């Protein structure tokens, strides 16, 4: 399943605790990426300012810890990205059945057929045409009929 194409639908059927885990992991990645750029810009600014001030070594030395922090933030960002992928995989694995149900589809028996179905769903979302729609009909769930109470048209007319 292409989780990027179906992101909001998957998020809608994902349990709240998993949504919070995804947001927390994303916040960690965002923090380390922001720190990476901030420390790199600070390091470059220290080098530039030191060079402008007649090679002021005391200012230029400040760039060394800034660049070290840049590399540390890069490493931590990569680790945070790995931990961000875990809840996203869980969201896809746990949410695909609920998503299929909410889209009016039934999951096929084999994983190969399921991959084909999700590919058709993604293709239909990107480019809705009759070919994809007709192919998706094979996966449509049989609608359940409820015995809804009948509405008396005369009583509706009187209420208006």
81 domain residue, yes or no: yes
105 domain residue, yes or no: yes
146 domain residue, yes or no: no
Q: What pTM, to 2 d.p., does this model score?
A: 0.67
Assess contact for 89 and 7: CB atoms under 8 A: no
145 domain residue, yes or no: no
Encoding tokens for residue 88? Answer: 């996203």
18 domain residue, yes or no: yes
Residues 96, 99, 102: CA angle, nearest 5 degrees? 155
158 domain residue, yes or no: no
Assess contact for 137 and 101: CB atoms under 8 A: no
Assess contact for 5 and 120: CB atoms under 8 A: no
Q: What's the number of domains the chain is made of?
A: 1
Return d(Cα 52, Cα 156) in angstroms, integer. Answer: 83
**Beta carbons within 10 angstroms of residue 1's beta carbon:** 19
150 domain residue, yes or no: no
Strands (E), the chain: none
Return d(Cα 2, Cα 6) in angstroms, integer. Answer: 7
117: domain range?
A: 7-126
CA distances (Å), 137 to each of 57, 73, 90, 108, 142, in order? 72, 49, 28, 12, 10
Q: CB-based burial of residue 18 (10 Å sphere; 0-12 exposed, 13-18 middle, 19+ buried)?
A: middle
55 domain residue, yes or no: yes
Can you give the pLDDT of all 160 residues of the chain as single tens digits? 677 778 888 888 888 999 999 999 999 999 999 999 999 999 999 999 988 988 888 888 999 999 999 999 999 999 999 989 899 888 888 888 898 888 889 999 899 998 999 989 888 888 888 888 888 888 888 765 555 555 555 554 555 4
Residue 105, beta-bridge partner list: 140
């Amino acid at each position: 399943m292409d989780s990027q194409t179906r992101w909001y639908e998957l998020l809608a059927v994902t349990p709240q605790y998993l949504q919070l885990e995804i947001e927390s992991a994303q916040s960690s990645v965002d923090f380390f990426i922001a720190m990476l750029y901030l420390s790199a810009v600070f390091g470059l600014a220290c080098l530039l300012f030191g060079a402008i001030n007649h090679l002021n070594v005391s200012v230029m030395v400040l760039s060394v810890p800034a660049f070290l922090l840049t590399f540390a933030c890069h490493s931590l960002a990569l680790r945070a990205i790995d931990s961000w992928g875990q809840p996203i995989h869980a969201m896809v694995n746990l949410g695909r059945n609920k998503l299929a149900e909410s889209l009016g589809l039934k999951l096929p028996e084999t994983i190969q057929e399921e991959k084909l179905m999700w590919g058709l769903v993604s293709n239909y979302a990107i480019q809705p045409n009759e070919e994809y729609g007709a192919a998706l009909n094979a996966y449509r769930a049989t609608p359940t009929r409820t015995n809804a109470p009948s509405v008396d048209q005369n009583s509706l007319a009187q209420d208006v």
